[in-house]
Amino acid sequence: MKIKEILKALSSVVLKVNCDEEMEFDYISSNSKDIKENSLFICRKGFNFDSHKLVDDISEKGAKVFVVEEEIKDYPYILVVDSRIAESIISDIFFNKPYEKLITFGVTGTNGKTTTVHLFHHIMHELGIKGSISGTVMNDIMGDKFYHHNTTPGAIEITKNMYKTVRENGKYYAMEVSSHALSQYRVESIKYDIVGITNITRDHLDFHQTFENYKKAKLHILNLLKPNGIAVINHKLLKDIPNKNIKIITFGIDNDSDYVIHEINSNWSGIYFRLETPYGEKKVASQLLGDFNAFNITLVIAALSEIGYDIDEVISSISTFRGVDGRLEVISEAKKLGIEIIIDFAHTPDALEKVILSLRKITKGRIITVFGAGGQSDIGKRPIMGKIVSKYSDISIITTDDPRGEDPEEIIKDIEMGIVPGSLSLSIIDRKEAIDTAITLANRGDVILIAGRGHEPYQVFNENYKVPFKDRDVTIDIIYKKINKGEKTFK
Ligand SMILES: CC(=O)N[C@H]1[C@@H](OP(=O)(O)OP(=O)(O)OC[C@H]2O[C@@H](n3ccc(=O)[nH]c3=O)[C@H](O)[C@@H]2O)O[C@H](CO)[C@@H](O)[C@@H]1O[C@H](C)C(=O)N[C@@H](C)C(=O)N[C@H](CCC(=O)O)C(=O)O
Ligand SMILES: Nc1ncnc2c1ncn2[C@@H]1O[C@H](COP(=O)(O)OP(=O)(O)OP(=O)(O)O)[C@@H](O)[C@H]1O
């Protein structure tokens, strides 16, 4: 590709062109660890690092021309106002707008993105349609499955993955879109057939500072629709939508929603509800636990029906979806002790409230919740989480989540500030000991909710100290130790 082919699209951000416009490049990157001969490299002043400092090294590895935010010596460059915007525009052109050849589904929201995207992927698979997904737990790019440290990767990676999907005859690309990605222009050039917004409640105020900024970042996804695109949003958010010139479909329990959820029934086998839709009344059955999943499921039903898939086929495919790793995951081994143990990723006040109340509906015994809060992330939500958990659980056990460089004891103290006076609560810094204590305290018929870390395989104490710790594996290990020592009675 020639430099001149990207210059027109970049015109709104270019300040100076200091290279030959006929110059050609064969690869693009913004990461010095990923460079090939004849690359165009995009430098930026990031949150932690300034890659303008590496130009000599990057040039030696094969970069031929740079996109920069400040002038550099010795190498050809294009000076731009903002490298992040430039990256999204360049990837778009370099990979030839792959989203135009795909059904693109972008989901944002505080909670439910992962579940929604995985359910979409499952239904498409059941309908015999191939495609890709990306998100927190897993990326599956045409069968190539891998973990990425970001929920939403950078613009180059996203477009490259979409391009691969097109090349291998995939028909869709479903992705989780985080508020960070929206505000850092990681998806700025993508155009979606459907955007879904699950809900917007408090989270990530460390990054966005105010709830209004956070909401604004999320709602920006509505500007990224294809001309005939559809926004499928939680009915509660309708009043917040600034852009009414787009097609909006709503879902929720309010009667004026386009898809109205009625009578959510639940038991340990799943949830069942009645759904009023533009295509008539339907019955939906799912193996997923948690009343809130009726909302995630409805978002996907609406998305697929509105772009032309048969609603009955879509609904019948839902029944075989078994859920996502670490989302209301039942530990079947706990039944041997006469109790239920659930692993869940709830790490926001809203998610904790919804999960505990959902479990309350199907639990005869007590609910014991083991939880903590992650470090370097929205300190203000900690006491709110403490209040919610102690209000709705019979016993709360506060413990360590991922401290990420913070002192775990200080995080626990922040949570303790919110604990409802008089409620049964204890703090145990070691997460394994906290889980062990919960199991020791549980009586037959009780439920233990282990919240906050879901699928995550490591506890991150700081950048250089990660300890393997998967809630599910640790819990199963404790259960077997208790059984072998005869500490608990068998069912
Ligand atoms: C604070 C933040 O959001 N940072 C994101 C941002 O990083 P950055 O570009 O500012 O990174 P930087 O480390 O300062 O580096 C600047 C530049 O130098 C380059 N570099 C850096 C070092 C080097 O050796 N060589 C090199 O070339 C980098 O590739 C980058 O181009 O852009 C990167 C590329 O898109 C992201 O990977 C990175 O996410 C970091 C790792 C992160 O942890 N972000 C979290 C807050 C986040 O984005 N989370 C959301 C999900 C939130 C949720 O719902 O839970 C997500 O989408 O993941
Ligand atoms: N619609 C919903 N409303 C409220 N809480 C939900 C909803 N869906 C899921 N949750 C809760 O949020 C947790 C995270 O769910 P999920 O992974 O699907 O969301 P997410 O948006 O991808 O979160 P993250 O971006 O943090 O990975 C679940 O474990 C559950 O506790």
For the chain, the distance separating the N- and C-terminal CA atoms, rounded to the nearest angstrom, is 67
Q: 450 with 401: CB under 8 angstroms? A: no
Calculate Rg over the CA atoms of the chain.
24
Q: Is the pLDDT of residue 213 over 90?
A: no
> How far apart are the CA of 373 and the centre of ligand 1, in A?
22
- Report domain extents, the chain: 3-82, 98-318, 329-484
**489: confidence class by pLDDT, cuts 50, 70, 90:** low
Give the separation between CA 30 and CA 398, rounded to whole angstroms: 41
Q: Whose CA is nearest to atom 8 of ligand 2?
A: 112
Q: Which residue has the tokens 């081994």?
A: 333
> How far apart are the CA of 82 and the centre of ligand 2, in A?
32
DSSP single-letter state for residue 187: T
DSSP single-letter state for residue 221: G
Residue 357: both structure tokens together: 């109340």
Q: Is the pLDDT of residue 211 over 80?
A: yes
186 is in an annotated binding site: yes
Strand-pairing partners, residue 272, are: 265, 285
Strand-pairing partners, residue 249, are: 232
> How far apart are the CA of 461 and the centre of ligand 1, in A?
19
> How far apart are the CA of 156 and the centre of ligand 1, in A?
13
Pick the CATH number of 98-318 from 3.40.50.880, 4.10.91.20, 3.40.309.10, 3.40.1190.10: 3.40.1190.10
Q: Is the pLDDT of residue 415 over 70?
A: yes
What's residue 414's pLDDT?
A: 97
> For ligand 2, what atom is nearest to the CA of residue 346?
31
What's residue 488's pLDDT?
A: 63
> For ligand 2, what atom is nearest to the CA of residue 203?
26
Closest CA to 263 of 291, 231, 238, 239: 291
> How far apart are the CA of 261 and the centre of ligand 2, in A?
19
Q: Is the CB of 178 under 6 A from ligand 1?
A: yes
pLDDT in tens, 278-287: 999 999 999 9
CA distances from 69 to 50, 53, 64, 255 (A): 10, 12, 17, 51
> For ligand 1, what atom is nearest to the CA of residue 186?
35
> How far apart are the CA of 48 and the centre of ligand 1, in A?
8
What's residue 485's pLDDT?
A: 78
> For ligand 2, what atom is nearest to the CA of residue 198?
1
Of 210 and 321, which is predicted with more confidence?
Answer: 321
pLDDT in tens, 344-394: 999 999 999 999 999 999 999 999 999 999 998 889 999 999 999 999 999
Choosing from 111, 200, 344, 401 the residue with most ligand 2 atoms within 8 A of its CB, the one to mutate for a pocket test is 111
Q: Is the CB of 115 under 6 A from ligand 2?
A: yes
| Strands across the sheet containing 77-80 | 14-18, 77-80, 63-68, 39-42, 27-29
Give the separation between CA 197 and CA 217, rounded to whole angstroms: 12
Residue 198, H or E segment: none
Choosing from 34, 108, 180 the residue with most ligand 1 atoms within 8 A of its CB, the one to mutate for a pocket test is 180
Q: Whose CA is nearest to atom 9 of ligand 2?
A: 112
Q: Is the CB of 218 under 6 A from ligand 1?
A: no
Residue 342: both structure tokens together: 């659930």
Q: Whose CA is nearest to atom 23 of ligand 1?
A: 32
Q: Is the CB of 453 under 6 A from ligand 2?
A: no
348 is in an annotated binding site: no
What's residue 206's pLDDT?
A: 72
Q: Is the pLDDT of residue 202 over 80?
A: no
With b meaning 16 or more CB within 10 Å and e meaning fewer, what string describes 470-483? bbbebbbebbeebe
CA distances from 401 to 9, 270, 344, 459 (A): 44, 28, 13, 7
Q: Give the DSSP per-residue string, 116-178.
A: HHHHHHHHHHHTT--EEEESSS-EEETTEEE--SSSS--HHHHHHHHHHHHHTT--EEEEE--
Q: Is the CB of 152 under 6 A from ligand 1?
A: yes
Give the separation between CA 43 and CA 86, rounded to whole angstroms: 10
Question: Which ligand has an atom closest to residue 454 CA?
Answer: 2
Q: So what's the ipTM on this one?
A: 0.96
111 is in an annotated binding site: yes
Q: Whose CA is nearest to atom 24 of ligand 1?
A: 32
Contacts of residue 389, defined as CB under 8 A and 6 or more positions apart, other chains included, come to 352, 356, 369, 371, 396, 451
| Phi and psi torsions of 228, nearest 5° | -100, 20
Pick the CATH number of 3-82 from 1.10.1040.10, 3.40.1390.10, 3.40.50.300, 3.30.420.240: 3.40.1390.10
Give the separation between CA 52 and CA 71, rounded to whole angstroms: 9
Q: Which of 140-154, 191-205, 428-442 has the lowest mean pLDDT?
A: 191-205
Q: Whose CA is nearest to atom 58 of ligand 1?
A: 150
What's residue 201's pLDDT?
A: 82
209 is in an annotated binding site: no
Q: What's the whole-number average pLDDT of the chain?
A: 94
Q: Give the DSSP per-residue string, 439-487.
A: HHHPPTT-EEEEES-TT--EEEEETTEEEE--HHHHHHHHHHHHHHHT-
pLDDT, average across residues 63-71: 96
CA 139 to chain centre: 11
Map 302-334 to HEC letters: HHHHHCCCCHHHHHHHHCCCCCCCCCCEECHHH
110 is in an annotated binding site: yes
**Superfamily covering domain 329-484:** Mur ligase, C-terminal domain (3.90.190.20)
Q: Is the CB of 383 under 6 A from ligand 1?
A: no
Q: Is the CB of 198 under 6 A from ligand 2?
A: yes
Give the separation between CA 313 and CA 330, rounded to whole angstroms: 27
Contacts of residue 288, defined as CB under 8 A and 6 or more positions apart, other chains included, come to 115, 270, 271, 296, 297, 321, 323, 328
CA distances from 405 to 149, 376, 427, 459 (A): 17, 8, 20, 11
Contacts of residue 149, defined as CB under 8 A and 6 or more positions apart, other chains included, come to none
To the nearest 10 degrees (0 to 180), the angle between helices 3-10 and 83-94 is 130
440 is in an annotated binding site: no
Query: What is the SS3 assignment for 229?
Result: strand
Choosing from 49, 58, 83, 108 the residue with most ligand 1 atoms within 8 A of its CB, the one to mutate for a pocket test is 49
Question: Which ligand has an atom closest to residue 204 CA?
Answer: 1
**210: confidence class by pLDDT, cuts 50, 70, 90:** confident
**203: confidence class by pLDDT, cuts 50, 70, 90:** confident
Q: Is the pLDDT of residue 400 over 80?
A: yes
What's residue 378's pLDDT?
A: 85
Q: Whose CA is nearest to atom 4 of ligand 2?
A: 351
Q: Name the residue type at position 129.
A: I
> How far apart are the CA of 150 and the centre of ligand 1, in A?
8
38 is in an annotated binding site: no
Q: Is the pLDDT of residue 490 over 70?
A: no
Give the separation between CA 7 and CA 128, rounded to whole angstroms: 41
Contacts of residue 297, defined as CB under 8 A and 6 or more positions apart, other chains included, come to 119, 284, 286, 288, 318
Give the separation between CA 461 and CA 405, rounded to whole angstroms: 6
113 is in an annotated binding site: yes
